[in-house]
Amino acid sequence: MVGMRGAYGGACNDDSKSRLHGGKAAEPEIASMAVHKVAPPPARSTASKMKVRVKETFFPDDPFRAFKGQPPGTQWLMAVRYLFPILDWVPSYSLSLFKSDLVAGLTIASLAIPQGISYAKLASLPPIIGLYSSFVPPMVYAVLGSSRDLAVGPVSISSLIMGSMLRQAVSPTAEPTLFLQLAFTSTLFAGLVQASLGILRLGFVIDFLSKATLVGFMAGAAIIVALQQLKALLGIVHFTTEMGIVPVMASVFHHTSEWSWQTILMGVCFLVFLLSARHVSIRWPKLFWVSACAPLASVTISTLLVFLFKAQNHGISIIGQLKCGLNRPSWDKLLFDTAYLGLTMKTGLVTGIISLTEGIAVGRTFASLKDYQIDGNKEMMAIGLMNVVGSCTSCYVTTGAFSRSAVNHNAGCKTAMSNVIMALTVMVTLLFLMPLFVYTPNVVLGAIIIAAVIGLIDFPAVYHIWKMDKMDFLVCVCAFAGVIFISVQEGLAIAVGISIFRVLMQITRPKMMVQGNIKGTDIYRDLHHYKEAQRVSGFLILAIEAPINFANSNYLNERIKRWIEEESFEQDKHTELHFIILDLSAVPAIDTSGIAFLIDIKKSIEKRGLELVLVNPTGEVMEKIQRANEAENYFRPDCLYLTTGEAIASLSALAKMTKP
Amino acid sequence: MVGMRGAYGGACNDDSKSRLHGGKAAEPEIASMAVHKVAPPPARSTASKMKVRVKETFFPDDPFRAFKGQPPGTQWLMAVRYLFPILDWVPSYSLSLFKSDLVAGLTIASLAIPQGISYAKLASLPPIIGLYSSFVPPMVYAVLGSSRDLAVGPVSISSLIMGSMLRQAVSPTAEPTLFLQLAFTSTLFAGLVQASLGILRLGFVIDFLSKATLVGFMAGAAIIVALQQLKALLGIVHFTTEMGIVPVMASVFHHTSEWSWQTILMGVCFLVFLLSARHVSIRWPKLFWVSACAPLASVTISTLLVFLFKAQNHGISIIGQLKCGLNRPSWDKLLFDTAYLGLTMKTGLVTGIISLTEGIAVGRTFASLKDYQIDGNKEMMAIGLMNVVGSCTSCYVTTGAFSRSAVNHNAGCKTAMSNVIMALTVMVTLLFLMPLFVYTPNVVLGAIIIAAVIGLIDFPAVYHIWKMDKMDFLVCVCAFAGVIFISVQEGLAIAVGISIFRVLMQITRPKMMVQGNIKGTDIYRDLHHYKEAQRVSGFLILAIEAPINFANSNYLNERIKRWIEEESFEQDKHTELHFIILDLSAVPAIDTSGIAFLIDIKKSIEKRGLELVLVNPTGEVMEKIQRANEAENYFRPDCLYLTTGEAIASLSALAKMTKP
C-alpha cells in the first residue's frame, strides 16, 4: 500500500518537477516502482464471443432471465403469461379498476368514433372501415398488449401514407373495390413486418428514427394532412390527388369558383370550437374531457344542423348512407396479384414501420410515466398480430395513437380494459347508430382532423432540439422540409439518411484529445477542456475516442502525424519530444485495418526517433494486439501500460537512466 | 500534494476496507478531501465549433499549414508546387537519378505493352486503346502526381468492370464505334468523379472500402478475369458474354467442340512459363526482372512461332492488323445522349471509385515503404485529371497498378520520370512497332492476363484477416462470393453494406463494462478483463464506450436497468447497492436523445432509492449536460466527479455521515 502510494507520489512529483525544470527526470525510487502490467483478457472461444454478441444484439433485455431455475410447469405458465399479458391483470381485476376503465373507455370512444370516420376518409377508404378498425384491433390488443395506456385505432399519419401510396397506382373513386383490397393487403403486410420485427428481435430498427427525425416528420405530416382537409373545409369538388404543399395550394386557388361559403362558415365555426376546446384542456388538464368530447359534440351538432336546415341542398357535402353491421371477414379480399404485390409490400413496410414507431413511442412514454416496463419486441408482436387479424376483418392499419392514449391516460385508465370498453361502444355504434351519420357533413370531419393533427406540431420540442444540438435540428428541419415539399416517404428517408450519416461521421472522424496532467495529481485530462491541465514535457499524450477501424484508420494515421509535428513546435525549446502515449481506454473495438494502422504508426513514429506507448487497451483491443504480436513482436510488454501516470513515471525514469 | 496523497490513500483504504468489512464507510478525513470539480469546457460559439468540425472532416491534414505566415510571393510559388509536384524534383534532377529511372521505365514498359493490349481486350476494346492508355495518362501523372513509385496505365479490374457494365447495354462486336464512345464517356465521368472527390476533400469515401472488402473483392475479380480468359486459352469462338462463374463454366463445357488443341497447347506452355517466371521473382526478389520481362518475351516468342508455322491457319486466333500512329483526339467521340447518359455515369462512378481505391492504396503502400507523405485528396485530383485528359485522347480508365508499381519499385525507380520513360517507349511502339503484333496470338494475351491477376489473390492476407477478426473475414468472404456468383458491382456493394452495418452495430449496441477497483490502487478496470479488480460494495461502476445517441439510448436504458437488477443480486447480502457510477470518459458525443436518456435513467434510478453519479463527462457531453440543466437542474454539481476514485471516496464518506 505504502509502496504504491510512494510510487504514485513519485509519479506526481516527477510530472510537476519535469514541468518545472524542463523535463528533468524523476527520483530514482520510481525506477523500482510497481508498475501494473496490462493483462490479456481471459481467453474465450470465438463461439462463446459470438454467443455473447448475439445475445447483446438481440436479447439485451434477457427476456428468459426469469425463466431460469423454474420448474417446467411454472415455465409454461410464465410463457403463456408472456404471450398473453391479459392474464397478468384479469385474475386480480376489481370493480374499482373497472370503474376507472369504464370512464376512460367511454371517453376515448367518443374520440375514436369521429376520428375513425375522419381518418378512413383521409386514407380514401369508406368511413365505415375507420369504425371497423376501432372495433376488432382494440380487442386483440387488450389480450396481447402489455401497455395499460395505449388507446388503439387508426391514426392520421399511417392513414395519410397508406392513402397517398396506394393512390399512386389505383384511383379510389374509379376502382373502389380494388383500392379496398390493396388497403387490406397492405395492412396484412404491415402486420407481418411488425410481428416479424418483434419475433426476430429486430426492434432496434425503429431506434434509427431519432426523436429529431420524428418531430420534424410529424410536424410536416400534420401540415400535409391539414392541407388535405382544405378540400372538405372549402367544399372543393375537384381537388388534386397530390400531397406536396405546392400542388395542393395551387389546386386550392385554381378552384376558387368551387368554394362554398356555407361550407366555409360551418367549417370555421367548428374548427374554432374544437381548437378552443383543445386549448381549454391544455390550460386546465383536469378538463381533459372537454377536448375529448368536443369532436363527438361537433359531429352531433353539425349533423343536427344539416338535418334541420337541409343544408345538403345548399352545397354542404355529407357522408351519406352507411350500412349497419359489424366487420365482415375480409381474408377473401386479400390480393396477392403480382401486378400489385410490390406496391402493397412497400406500403405495408412503410406504414408498418411508421405506425409501429408511433405505437412503441407512446407505449414507452406512458410506461415511464407510470414506471412500469414494456418489452419493445413483445409490443411489436402484439401490434403486428393485431394488424394481421385486422386485415382479415375489414380493418386497415392501426396502432396506439398519441392523442387518444393521452386522453385515455388522463381519463384515469388502469388496464387495457379501457380498449375493450371503447371497442364495445364502437360495436354498439356499428350495430345501431350508423343511420345517424347520414347527414354528418364532411366539413366537420375535416375540422376534427385539423384539430387533431395540430397537436402533432411540437414547437417546444423543436426549440429544445435547437438549443441542445444543431445537427439534430438540421435533421429535424430536413425531415420537415422533405415531407412537405417532396413526399412523406422521401422526407423520412432523407432524415434517416442524415442521422445515419452523422453516426458514420462520428466514426470516420473520431474525437482525439491531447491530454495534460492536472497539477499535483495523477489525473490526465483534455488540455482544451481543463485549463489547469499542463503538458508533460517530453511526452505527447493522445486519447482516441472511437473504435479504430477501416473507416478511420487513414484519418487517425494522418492526424496523429500532424499532432506530432505540431507538438514538436509546442514543446519548449530546451526539451524535445521523446514519447508518444496513445491512451486506448476509449477504444472499444479494433479491426484488421485498425491493427495495421497501429503497427504502421508505431513504425513511422520510431523512424522519427520517438517511442510509441499504448495505455490501457480494453479487452478486444488487447486480444488483437496479442494476435498481431504472434506474427511479429510489434508491441512488447514494455510499451503497454495500465495508466498514463504509470507510463510517464517509468518512462521518465528510464529516460533518465539511459542518458544521465 | 501531501493532502492529495492522503486523500488518495484514504480513497484506497476506503475501498479495501469497505470490501473487507462489507461496505463500512471510510475514515472521517476523506470527507475533507480536495475533490476536483468537473469544469465546463471553455465556451465556444456554434460557428467556431462548426468551423473546427468542418476542418477535421475535410482538412484533417491541414494542407494550408505550411502557407501560414509566408509572404504572398512564396505562397503563390507553394500553391503552384502543390498543384504540380513535378516542380519538387525536376529542378534537382540528376543523371544518377535518371539512370535508375531509365532502367525502371524500360522494365515497366516491357510489362505495360503486352498488359495494355491484353487489358483492352478484357474491356472488349480494340487492343490499340490499351497502348494509347499507356502513353498519355503516364505523362499527365508524371506532372501532377505526388507518388514516385506509381506506374500508371490500364488495370485488369477496372477494365473488367467497364467491359461488363457497358456490354449490358451495347454489343462491342455489333456496334464497336458506339461501344468505344461509351467507353470514352465513362472514362470522362470516372475522371470527373475522381477529381471532384479530391477537390471536395471527400477522399474518405474510399476509406469505406476496407482492406477485408478489397482482399475478397480482388480475389473474386481475379477469378472472374481468369475465367474470361478460358475463351482465348481454349480457342472457343462462341463464348458467353456473362461474368458469373456458373454461366462461364457452362459455356466452356457446352462448346467443347470448339476447343482447339493447338491453342490449348500453346496457352498452357506460355502460362507455365509466365507462372514459373513469377515464382522465380517471388522467391528471389533480386530477379524481379524475370517476371517483368516474361510477358514481352512470351509475346515475342509466340508471335515468331505463329509467323514461322503459319499457326493462324491451324486454329490459333491472332490479333491481326493494328495501324501505326499516336492517340487521336477523341473529345468529338464523347457521347452525352440521354439514352446512354445513365449507363456511362454509373460505369464512370463504379470504375472511377474502384480504380481510385487501387491507385491510392498503391500510392500509400509505397509511400510508407519509402517513408514519404502523399496527400490522398491531391492524388485523387491527379488521377482524375489524368483520366479526363485520357478520355479526350482515346484512352480508357487508367490508374496506378499494383503489379506494375511493384516492379517499378523493385527496378529502383526514383521519380515519376520512370512513367515518362515508359510512355516514350510505348510511343515508339505505337509509331513503328505495331506491325509486329499482327501475328501475336490471343491465347498468349490470355495467359499474360491470368499470370497477372493470379497475383491479386492474396492468401496470406485472407489468413491474416481470419486470424485477426472473424467479422472482417465474413466481409471478405461475402465480397468474394458476391463477385463470383452475383456480379462484380453487387459483390462490392454487399461487402461495403456489411462493413457499414457492422460499424452501425458498434454504435447501436455499444460496449459497456462493469468496473472494479484494483486492490491497493486508485485504478478502476473491467471486472471481466482484470481478475485482480474487485467490486466496490455499495457501488455499481459502469463505463459506456460509445457516443450516446438515438441509435443506442433505448438499448442503454434497458441494459443499465438490467445491470442494476443483476448487481443487486451480486452484492453480498449484508450490504445493498447505494450508488450507480456512470463513467462517461469514453463517451465522445451525445445528442438530444442521449441527454433524454441520461435524465430518464437518473429519474428511474432515483425511483429505486439509488443515486446516479456521472464521472468525467468530456467537453461536448458536459456542454449538453449544462444546457439540460438550464431547463431544470437535473445534474447538480455534486453528482459530477472527475475520477471514479474521487467519486467513491467522497460518496462513501457522505454515506457514512448520513447514516452513522
The predicted pLDDT at position A55 comes to: 82
Q: Which residues of B touch A12 (CB under 8 A)?
A: 1, 4-5
Q: What mean pLDDT is predicted for residues B272-296? A: 86
Q: Which residues of B touch A531 (CB under 8 A)?
A: 39, 42
Cross-chain residue pair A523–B591, CB shorter than 8 Å: no
Chain A's closest residue to B533, CA to CA, is: A39
Residues 6+ apart with CB under 8 A from A61: A375, B558, B559, B562
- DSSP 8-state symbol, B23: S
- Looking at the predicted complex, does its ipTM rise above 0.90? no
Query: What region does A344 belong to: left with phi over 0, alpha with psi -120 to 50, or beta?
Result: alpha
Q: Which residues of A touch B508 (CB under 8 A)?
A: 204, 207
Hey, what's the cell of B157?
479490374
Interface of B with A in 317-376 (CB under 8 A): 364, 368, 371, 373, 376
Chain A's closest residue to B370, CA to CA, is: A604
Q: Work out whether strand B611-615 and strand B640-641 pair parallel, antiparallel, or are unpaired.
A: parallel
Candidates B212, B559, B586; nearest CB to A545: B586
Candidates B5, B510, B618; nearest CB to A588: B510
B525 touches chain A (CB under 8 A): yes
Query: What region does B154 belong to: left with phi over 0, alpha with psi -120 to 50, or beta?
Result: beta
Residue B532 CA to chain centroid, in angstroms?
40
The predicted pLDDT at position A70 comes to: 81
Chain A's closest residue to B473, CA to CA, is: A592
The predicted pLDDT at position B399 comes to: 94
Q: What is the pLDDT of residues B602-660, one digit of tens each?
A: 988 888 888 999 999 988 899 889 888 887 888 888 889 999 998 998 888 887 776 55
B279 touches chain A (CB under 8 A): no
- DSSP 8-state symbol, A652: H
Q: What is the pLDDT of residues B390-434, one digit of tens each?
A: 999 999 999 998 888 888 888 888 999 999 999 999 999 999 888
Instruction: Categorize the per-residue pLDDT at B27 as very low, low, confident or very high, splitting at 50, 70 and 90.
Output: very low
B81 touches chain A (CB under 8 A): no
Candidates A46, A50, A470; nearest CB to B46: A470
Cross-chain residue pair B204–A559, CB shorter than 8 Å: no
Domains and CATH numbers, chain A: 87-502 (no CATH), 510-658 (3.30.750.24)
Interface of B with A in 372-411 (CB under 8 A): 373, 376
The proportion of chain B whose per-residue pLDDT surpasses 70, expressed as a percent, equals 93
- DSSP 8-state symbol, B430: I
Q: What is the pLDDT of residues B32-81, one digit of tens each?
A: 456 777 777 788 887 888 888 888 888 877 777 777 778 888 888 888 88
Q: Which residues of B touch A562 (CB under 8 A)?
A: 60-62, 65
How close is the nearest chain A Cα to the Cα of B493, in Å? 16
Chain A's closest residue to B562, CA to CA, is: A61
Cross-chain residue pair A208–B551, CB shorter than 8 Å: yes
Q: Mark the ranges of chain A whose per-residue pLDDT is less than 70.
A: 1-34, 569-575, 658-660
Instruction: Categorize the per-residue pLDDT at B570 as very low, low, confident or very high, splitting at 50, 70 and 90.
Output: low
Residues 6+ apart with CB under 8 A from B94: none
Whether B521 has a pLDDT exceeding 70, the answer reads yes
Q: What is the pLDDT of residues B535-564, one digit of tens each?
A: 888 889 999 988 998 888 888 988 898 888
Whether B591 has a pLDDT exceeding 50, the answer reads yes
Q: Which residues of A touch B530 (CB under 8 A)?
A: 39
How close is the nearest chain A Cα to the Cα of B419, in Å? 27
User: Over A500-551, what HEC string results?
Assistant: HHHHHHHHHCCCEEEEEEECCCCCEEECCCCCCEECCCCEEEEEECCCECCC
The predicted pLDDT at position A385 comes to: 95
The predicted pLDDT at position A6 comes to: 35
Cross-chain residue pair A39–B531, CB shorter than 8 Å: yes
Instruction: Categorize the per-residue pLDDT at B574 as very low, low, confident or very high, splitting at 50, 70 and 90.
Output: low
Whether B8 has a pLDDT exceeding 60, the answer reads no
The proportion of chain B whose per-residue pLDDT surpasses 90, expressed as a percent, equals 27
Q: Give burial (CB, 10 Å; 0-12/13-18/19+) of B154.
A: buried
- Residue A49 CA neighbour count, 13 Å, CB half: 12
Q: Tell me what the pLDDT averaged over chain B comes to.
A: 85
Residue B496 to residues A550, B156, B207, B492, B502, Cα–Cα distance (Å): 11, 21, 10, 6, 10
Q: Is B355 helix (H, G, I), strand (E, B) or coil?
A: helix
How close is the nearest chain B Cα to the Cα of A551, in Å? 5
How are the residues of chain B apportioned to helix, strand and coil, as percentages rounded to the nearest 5?
65, 5, 30
Residue carrying the nine cell digits 375537384: A238
Whether B525 has a pLDDT exceeding 80, the answer reads yes
Instruction: Categorize the per-residue pLDDT at B31 as very low, low, confident or very high, splitting at 50, 70 and 90.
Output: very low
Cross-chain residue pair A509–B465, CB shorter than 8 Å: no
Q: Which residues of B touch A643 (CB under 8 A)?
A: 523
Q: Widest CA span of chain B, in angstroms?
A: 108
The predicted pLDDT at position A130 comes to: 93
The predicted pLDDT at position B19 comes to: 36
How close is the nearest chain A Cα to the Cα of B64, in Å? 12
pTM: 0.80
The predicted pLDDT at position A69 comes to: 78
Chain B's closest residue to A373, CA to CA, is: B558
Q: In whole angstroms, give the CA distance from residue B513 to residue B509.
A: 13
**Quick one: which of B243, B68, B232 has its CA closest to B164?**
B243
Element (H, E) at A612: strand A611-615
Cα pseudo-dihedral B524, A578, A561, B89, rounded to 10: -170
The predicted pLDDT at position B376 comes to: 84
